[in-house]
Structure 1
Amino acid sequence: MVGAGILFYLRSLVSMVFLGRLGQLPLAGGSLALGFANITGYSVLSGLAGGMDPVCGQAFGAGRTDLLRAALRRTVAVLAAASLPVALLWVAMHRVLVSTGQDPEIAGAAYEYILCCLPDLAVQCLLHPIRIYLRAQSVTLPLTYGAAAALLLHVPINFLLVTCLGLGVRGVALGGVWTNLNFLLFLLAYVYFTDDDDEEEDSTKTKEVEEWWPLVRLCVHSCMSVCLEWWWYEIMVLLCGVLVDPKAAVAAMGVLIQTTSLIYIFPHSLGCAVSTRVGHELGAARPERARLVARVGLGLGAALGLVACAFAVSVRGAWARMFTDDAAILRLTASALPLLGLAELGNCPQTAGCGVLRGSARPEKAARINVSAFYGVGMPVALALAFWPLGLDFRGMWGGMLAAQLVCAGLMLRAVLGTDWAEQTERARQLTGGRGDGIVAEDKPGHAQPAKAEVQQNTLFMVADCV
């Protein structure tokens, strides 16, 4: 999971490099388009897809592998329905940006970019569910191989579209869509040649579990949890536009967002792994092992937080020099990196805790925690520190981030440690119609095999003792 995350991070960097070579206007327009697409589209689809995570994980643990395919089909339908209003909003993007006071030239370049990204909505409607479908079965290497193959093709694709064909900003957008499509085709080919469709489905159970409402409810709550945190970062970028030195502040915020995005790959991958393992154990009616997975996940999250904090503090004087030589941007970035590192002390364990809640089909609790931490605490603290009464300017914004992440970690820790795992096991049985006998689905080639699973369980107990 970490490998695939880093590869896709590199893919986005390649796109930004090609945008930067086109000039200031294409770079500004492409950046604006990406921000608009993240807020209105990609965050929504990613969040909605997360609703199938607990269903697939618990179904696999309960021996109901037929339900994975049912959840896959229904999630694709949910994402396709959600992408229609998103597409309409993207088509109207130019008028929205101009009416909100954006520069017409930048808005025009952004509009060119986002129109060429419209096919990516269809790709994402399949890509997100397929990735979760495979991860729920402990199939992760194909994700890494697919991401690596897509990245290798990404550079020549951009060179062809941008340099050879001279498509400019449209070429960069189409290159991103083409790369995502390559990744999707790789995963679809893997599923087609490895999936076993010979299993008989229990029509009574399938009919009960395949009802729309449970999955849609999980999708909506998961979407709220993801978007509330994702949008908070975008709001911070907008608020930087009204600080004392807005150009330097927005640029420094861009550097720091890239930094925290890189760091986030590690706790996010841990959260996905924890979600999958918790789902497996609950589906297999093993509440004590689910509790153990949750606690080990929190311990590993705390360790990742310490590493991330040490990294951010140690590179504060040199990190921004990879992006710019501007003295004002370097000063702001260096002053905020220690606060970013301290925020990771809360962000890493809370991300692991969010994986626990997602794996136990409780994304609504994660959404409530995000509202309380980021908007109930983080936003007021950021405004008070940055503007009035303290007037710390840029550092005050990241002080608000630090407060939000620490509160979020505390609330998440309380929610996970206060979990009644026997109750969650019963909820998993009701969600999946599982046998509740602790028998995991028979593994297929490429899935976690029983002997390996037993070794992993023993490893978990050893790690728990160390923690």
Structure 2
Amino acid sequence: MAGAITDFIILAFLVLYLHHTSVCDNTLQGWSDECYRELTPILRQAVSGCISVSLEWWWYEIMIILSGLLFNSTEAVATMGIVIQAASLVYIFLSSFRQAVSTRVGNELGANCPHNAKISTWIALACAVFMSIVATFFMTAMRNTWGCIFTNDATILSLTAMSMPVVGLCEIGNWLQTTGCGVLRVSNRPTLSVNINFGSFYGVGLPVALIMGFVLKMGLFGFWFGLLAAHTVCAIVMMVVVLRTNWIEQT
């Protein structure tokens, strides 16, 4: 509920800002039929981007449901929720970074500057690597503290402390894959990012999580290693696609 209210507040402030400032004076001259022309490509990009992000977050929801089937289901579900809150906090910065990368690379492509778009992408990936290391350090450093914000149950705190470093490692792949998704989106390849995410999380990550969690009896940690496998594969494939991009063809 708090998240939903926050989203509506952000929307309200954005509408007020656009209405009371002159930021759109040179781009929006009033409503007309022209506003709806070529709307299909925009919707296609929007839907693909939404699905791409949702595929990852749906994976987390599935893991929460599967945690309820473990022998220590109460503690596992609680731990999963606590650790996901930490991942969500990191994702706020990651999402903002992805939007900035998309805007920068998109502007260079729109200005017919493929070389600048390529350089911007390389710089963005380098920044993503650095920020992923910071995120990993944060998750690891907070392993004994983060859970105390939510509970004082010793078992849950122990599981959280052991889970946080693994999820921290996932952030390395997460930052690279999300940055790559932003680049693919502005280079008119959003469907490709959806396919990569789907294959990585549901073709690799989910089977690994199920096998390690239930077959190998690793429980909650098996799920986290499934997430690590998904992020690793997704990041590798995304980097191969992005780095092999013919930027001249994208302008």
TM-score (norm 2): 0.91
Q: 1:153-302, aligned counterparts within 5 Å? A: 176=5, 180-192=7-19, 193-197=21-25, 210-302=37-129
Query: Please, which runs of 5 or more residues in structure 2 have no aligned partner?
Result: none
**Alpha-carbon shift at residue 226 of structure 1 (Å):** 1.7
Go from structure 1 to structure 2 and tell me whether the alpha carbon gap of 1:244 and 1:355 turns closer, same or farther (over 3 Å shift): same
Deviations 1:402-441 (A, max 9, x none): 000011110110111011100100xxxxxxxxxxxxxxxx
Task: Give the gaps of 5 or more residues in structure 1.
Answer: 1-11, 16-33, 35-119, 121-175, 426-467
Once the two structures are superposed, residues 297-341 of structure 1 have per-residue CA deviations (whole angstroms, 9 ceiling, x without a partner) of 111111111111112222222221121111111111111111101
2:180 is matched by which residue type in structure 1? G
Retained in 2: the 8 A contact 1:309–1:344?
yes
Q: Which residue of 2 aligns with 1:406?
A: 232
Counterpart of 1:350, as a letter, is Q
Which of residues 157, 161, 178 is equivalent to 1:351? 178
Shift of 1:191: 1.4
Q: 1: CA distance between counterparts of 2:54 and 2:174?
A: 16
Identity value in percent: 46
Report how far residue 210 of structure 1 moved: 2.2
d(CA) in 2 for partners of 1:200, 1:414: 39
Shift of 1:182: 4.2
- Equivalent residues in 2 for 1:275-424 (5 A)? 275-388=102-215, 390-424=216-250
State the distance in 2 between where 1:353 and 1:422 align: 18
3-state DSSP of counterpart to 1:396: helix
**Matched residue of 1:333: which SS?**
helix
Residue pair 2:18, 2:24 contacting (<8 A) in 1 also: no
Decide whether aligned partners of structure 1 residues 381 and 247 sit closer, same or farther in structure 2, where only a CA change above 3 A counts.
Answer: same
Displacement of 1:348 in angstroms is 1.1
Q: Distance in 2 between matches of 1:317 and 1:198?
A: 52
Cα distance in 2 for residues equivalent to 1:198 and 1:298: 33
CA distance in 2, matches of 1:399, 1:196: 46
For 1:380 and 1:180, the matched residues in 2 are separated by 34
Q: In 2 relative to 1, CA 216–251 (structure 1 residues): closer, same or farther, beyond 3 Å?
A: same
8 Å contact 1:277–1:359 — kept in the other structure? no
RMSD (CA atoms): 2.1
Q: Would the aligned equivalents of 2:210 and 2:222 in 1 still touch at CA under 8 Å?
A: yes
TM-score, normalised relative to structure 1: 0.50
Decide whether the 8 Å contact of 2:45 with 2:185 is kept in 1.
Answer: no
- Please list the CA deviations of residues 113-168 of structure 1 after superposition, one character each: whole Å capped at 9, or x if unmatched: xxxxxxx7xxxxxxxxxxxxxxxxxxxxxxxxxxxxxxxxxxxxxxxxxxxxxxxx
Q: Is the 8 A contact 1:288 1:421 kept in 2?
A: yes
Count of aligned positions = 246
Note the C-alpha offset of 1:221.
Answer: 1.8
